[in-house]
Amino acid sequence: RTGALKKSKAWGIYFRRKTPDLTQAIDESHEYFPQIDPRAKFDAKDGHNIWTFPSCGGAKFQFAHMQHETDRFKYKSSAYTYLAFDELTEFEEIQFLYMQSRLRCADDALVPFLQTVWASNPDGPGLLWVRNRFIEGRQPERVYRTRYHLNNGMTREKDEIFIPFGLKDNPVLFATGAYEMQLRGLPPEIREAILEGNWYYASGAFLARVWNTKYHVVDDHPVPSGVAIYRSGDYGYNKPSSITWWYVDRDGIMTAFYNLYVTDKTPEQLAGLIKEVEQEFGLWDDDRDVSDISGPLDSACWN
């Protein structure tokens, strides 16, 4: 439509955990953003790092950090139409969730375009929460839709999708083979994460250097009849308790078929959860109100 474009409320923001990590992204923005709008201006005053696009009604794009957990409150009164997190596993879950409350806009025309995106290698301190929230139990490249019934009588939907990206998806790096050569020379757990995109390795863990999802993970299936079943446990309160149920087949291979992973549970509360799981799998004697199986606990439990 002809006529002057009204002042745009579009405001995107790109996060890295620490300010120095923004350097390369900001440098690349100086190459690409002027191609979007030749009149685009960059303001680095007071560390703002904000691009303004006059040809797009003054839309803005900002580069920012959240080094400390409480840094999220610096954006308390802000409103963004686009949130981007680079290397999400470097962030804490509360930072990510809090910023979702800043994804909002008073311009009805922009509401359908509100979006959060993230990218990350499958490593770093936040690997577990990112995996649990976005990877676990979900098929890659499948859209998962949640419908919300709002207090104003409206119904809105939110879509989520996880798109794996491997070395083959980067034609420049893949073609030369130089980067793949570097990765293949790294320790197995690092190679698994970066080259294979494996979200189920655990760097520094006991099995980190031998774990391979291709061999150590099987499709869901019923527990075979007539096999020995055991329970192992590692208790924690502030740190998670991890209780795992195993069966041992005729070849002596152990398969974990269920895991309970919880925090902030007293021994009594944890025992109640264990009972519920074992009742579900038919491993509990309801008449005697005891478990039909046994298994080891870590030595720290006896402290």
Position 289 confidence tier, pLDDT thresholds 50, 70, 90: very high
CA distance 85 to 134: 14
- 261 closest CA partner among 233, 282, 293: 233
Confidence (pTM): 0.73
> Can you tell me the distance from the alpha carbon of 127 to that of 189, in angstroms, rounded to the nearest whole number?
14
- Tokens representing 285? 């004697």
pLDDT at position 19 over 50: yes
Cα separation, 73 vs 71, whole angstroms:
5
Secondary structure (3-state) at 126: coil
| Partner residues linked to 14 by β-bridges | 63, 84
Yes or no: say if 149 and 222 are a contact pair by the CB < 8 Å rule: no
Q: Please compute the mean of the pLDDT values over residues 215-223 and round it to a whole number.
A: 87
Q: What is the distance between the alpha carbons of residues 10 and 111, in angstroms, rounded to a whole number?
A: 10
- 39-78: pLDDT as tens digits: 999 999 888 899 999 998 999 999 999 999 999 999 999 9
pLDDT tens digits, residue range 124-143?
A: 889 889 988 998 878 899 99
* Residue 302 pLDDT exceeds 80: no
- Cβ neighbours of residue 130 under 8 Å, at least 6 residues apart? 88, 89, 120
Residue 208's pLDDT is 67
Q: Reply yes or no on whether the pLDDT at 203 is more than 80.
A: no
CA distance 257 to 228: 13
Number of residues in the chain: 303
> Would the pLDDT of 13 be above 90?
yes
Please tell me the distance from the alpha carbon of residue 225 to that of residue 67, in angstroms, as a whole number: 52
Residue 269 backbone dihedrals phi, psi, to 5 degrees: -65, -40
Q: What burial class does residue 123 get, using C-beta atoms within 10 Å of its C-beta: 0-12 exposed, 13-18 middle, 19+ buried?
A: buried
Check residues 129 and 200 and name the one with the higher pLDDT.
129
Structure-model confidence comparison of residues 110 and 302, the more confident one: 110
Could you report the per-residue pLDDT of 274-287, keeping only the tens digit for each? Answer: 999 999 999 999 99
Contact yes or no for 12/18 (Cβ under 8 A): no
% the chain with pLDDT above 70: 95
Predicted pLDDT of residue 5: 52
Q: Quickly list DSSP for 166-185.
A: -GGG-HHHHHH-HHHHHHHT
Q: Which residues contact 160 (CB under 8 A, 6 or more apart)?
A: 134, 143, 144, 145, 146
